[in-house]
Structure 1
Amino acid sequence: MNQAAHGHAAHHSHQHGRGGPGHMGDSGDQAEMLDLDADVLAEHIASITRWLPLEVSPRRLVDLGCGTGAGTFALLARFPEAHVTAVDTSAEHLRRLREKACAQGLADRVRTVQADLDTTWPELGIPDLVWASASMHHMADPDRTLRQIHDTLAPGGLLAVVELAGFPRFLPADAPVERPGLEERCHAASDRYHTEHVPHRGADWGPKLTAAGFAVEGERTLVVNIEGSRSPAIGRYALGSLRRMRDTAADALCAEDLAALDRLLDTDSAHSVLRRTDLTVRTERSVWAARRA
């Protein structure tokens, strides 16, 4: 979850589902946010891998839109005999993933493939499991991509589609004190932007999976609610997420809201989100598990 995402937002390049997540214009910023996604949401990613309806541990896995490897490493931990082919459009993300794999002694279990899935379908072998976290909603033609995944999977193979419900929320409803409810107004503006530019975000993937020839075997929604005190990364995660949201919401915000948001984003300010002690990560993550007959 890029992916993430993260999953929840390639709102500059819209490259996430084209083989790799993109969150902001600069690839270093993108990679940092993907790493924060992986750090903050690690327990939820692991719980999804445990939930997957598998009677036999898969050996050949593909992570579509792998980003810097949140899903890849969760899958490697869950299935210790497996090998993962990690696919992304970003050479920088794949480089970071390979570095992590080497550092963890996993290099021999990871293969990276750079590809734009909207233009070229790479050689992926015949996987037992395909993992697509926060990537499907950025595909130019997700129905076509699902058919390609279906035809790539081994008979009886499983596809896991994981999607976050938009950007996470972090602030209390009465924050900031001078503009209560600011975050909700930012979300409303950002959602309007994404409805126009990323029309598949928030889709019900069940019918799409069925239409592509899959049998949907499981669907669940995980509620994410993580207190800021749980991890020092949450402040930086909130900062990066609100920065991304500003890019898509700024034109729709009034001057007072935009000024209040900029104070939260000013890391030198006493009002910086990094200095708040009342942050929580609140979102939902939906998962569909579908099998090739």
Structure 2
Amino acid sequence: MSQHTATHHGHSHGDGHGHQHTPGTPQTSGHKHSHGSHHDGAPLDWNEIAGLLERQAEIESPAYADAAAWLGTLAPVQGVRRVLDIGSGPGVITGVLAEAFPSAGAVAVDGSPELLVRARERAVERGFGSRISTLHAELPEGIAELGKADVIWAGNSMHHIGDQRAALVEFAGLLNPGGLMVLVEGGLPSRHLPWHVGFGRPGLEARLDAANADRFAQMRAETPGHKDEPDDWRTLLADAGLTPAGTRTFLTDVPAPVSPVVRELALTHFGRVRDSFDGRLDADDRAMLDRLLDPADELSLHHRTDLFYLAARTVHTARKG
């Protein structure tokens, strides 16, 4: 499966917290935390990042299409007239949702004007015309301005809102009767490499997961308005006055040998990990990352035949009575 660094919404980084973006890549969500700066405070080049987010979301789009088809069993497809894609990024998943609900207008909502420009371009390129629109919004402040909807899809964006409980109450208030609230949160850490890569200490990606978990905890604690809530999404949805309608996990499985696009994404992913996890990794693991990124090294990501991409994204749903 915005897909966020990925992220889409592939923004994934594909960590165990359900981001769709690679660690070190910002989440494409429509709120101030993700707009204009990286979690570590470095400035973002949205023109550079947009392509990464878009390509990863495209790779995971079959899994998202399966998720959207499942939503069609929970809501009357022809009765869905308006879909909000919260944290849309470049709009890949907005298009998936528009295809799944052919009678609906889909709205890409994001805090980055640059990514919304690309979402509009994608909509035109794929023949959606006026069925897909864009809306710049800083969340959670702008939730009330989003308007009513039959489906609200928040893909890996809730964890960038400090008070998730309060935000879900506001989103529930936007749903029409019978409407669906959909959260993409959780799953499993993405994997790209075997346990033993041929040099260094085995288990590199597991150690990167641990570093990313610490980084994620810091990001949550520093998010404006942060409230310390367990990630019990079913309970949070029920407390917002909604009726939980089911949770499922969707798999993206790209086995070795991978395409040049998947290889490029892996190089970008590990490059951002090396740059943004500085201080969180020991010298041996930093040296391993340097080797993996060195095009002159025959065991680097540039040349490996065992490189793959495996990601699991969990989708939580609840219905307004």
What TM-score results when the alignment is normalised by the length of structure 2?
0.82
Displacement after TM superposition at 1:12 (Å): 6.8
Contact 1:17-1:117 within 8 A present in 2 as well: yes
The separation in 2 between residues aligned to 1:15 and 1:106, in whole angstroms, is 22
Q: Does 1:68 align with 2:90?
A: yes
User: 1:183 offset after TM fit, Å?
Assistant: 1.9
Shift of 1:28: 2.5
Q: 1:157 to 1:61 in 2, by over 3 A?
A: same
Partner Cα separation in structure 1 for residue 188 and residue 271 of structure 2: 14
Equivalent residue, structure 1, for 2:29: 16
Indicate yes or no: 2:168 matched with 1:140: no
1:187 matched to 2:199? The reply is no
**Aligned equivalents of 1:82, 1:229: Cα separation in 2:** 38
Tell me the secondary structure at the aligned position of residue 69 of structure 2: helix
Q: Which residue of 1 aligns with 2:64?
A: 45
Alignment correspondent of 2:272: 244
- 1:26 partnered with 2:33: no
Q: 2:75: which partner in 1?
A: 54
Amino acid at match of 1:73: G
Change (3 A) 1:168 1:13: closer
Task: Choose the corresponding residue for 2:318, options 280, 286, 290.
Answer: 290
Who is 2:114 aligned against? 92
Number of residue pairs the alignment of both structures matches: 293
User: C-alpha deviations, 1:36-69, integer Å up to 9, x for none?
Assistant: 2212111100000011112343121110000111
Amino acid at match of 2:136: Q
Question: Secondary structure in 2 aligned to 1:112?
Answer: strand
Q: Deviations over 1:199-248 (max 9, x none)?
A: 68992311111111110011112343321435432112212222333344
Check the 8 A contact 2:82/2:151 in 1, yes or no: yes
CA distance, structure 1, for counterparts of residue 34 and residue 264 of structure 2? 19
Percentage of identical aligned residues: 34
| Residue matched to 1:107 | 129
Comparing 221-230 and 63-72, the one that deviates more: 221-230
CA distance in 2: counterparts of 1:214 and 1:148, whole angstroms: 12
2:267 counterpart SS class? helix
Q: Quick one: distance in 2 between partners of 1:35 and 1:21?
A: 16
Q: Which one-letter code corresponds to 1:112 in the other structure?
A: T
Structure 1 counterpart of 2:177, from 155, 161, 186: 155
Q: RMSD of the TM alignment (CA)?
A: 2.6
Gap change, CA 1:132 and 1:176, over 3 Å in 2? farther
Stretches of structure 2 lacking an aligned partner (at least 5 in a row): 13-18, 39-43, 222-227
In 2, Cα distance between equivalents of 1:144 and 1:170:
36
Structure 1 unaligned blocks of 5 or more: none
What's the secondary structure of 2:68's corresponding residue?
A: helix
Is the Cα–Cα contact under 8 Å of residues 172 and 241 in structure 2 kept in the other structure? yes
Residue 148 (structure 1) shift: 1.0
- Give me the whole-angstrom Cα distance separating, in 1, the residues matched to 2:317 and 2:108: 19
- Note closer, same or farther for the CA distance 1:267–1:98 as it changes in structure 2 (3 Å cut): farther
TM-score between both structures, scaled by the size of structure 1: 0.89
Compare 229-238 and 101-110 and name the one that shifted more: 229-238
CA contact (8 A) 2:150 2:179 kept: yes
For the residues of structure 2 that align with 1:133 and 1:260, how far apart are their CA atoms? 32
Q: 1:13 to 1:182 in 2, by over 3 A?
A: closer
Distance change >3 Å, CA 273–CA 230, structure 1 → 2: closer
| Superposition deviation, residue 96 in structure 1 | 0.6
Deviations 1:165-212 (A, max 9, x none): 365210100014233222221221121221232368992311111111
Q: Distance in 2 between matches of 1:247 and 1:204?
A: 32
Residues 189, 312 of structure 2: 8 Å contact kept? no
After superposing the two structures, state which structure 1 stretch, 44-53 or 171-180, moved more: 171-180
Contact conserved, 1:17 with 1:139, CA < 8 A, in 2?
no
Post-superposition shift, 1:152? 0.7
Aligned to 1:224: 252
Q: What amino acid is aligned across from residue 20 of structure 2 in structure 1?
A: H
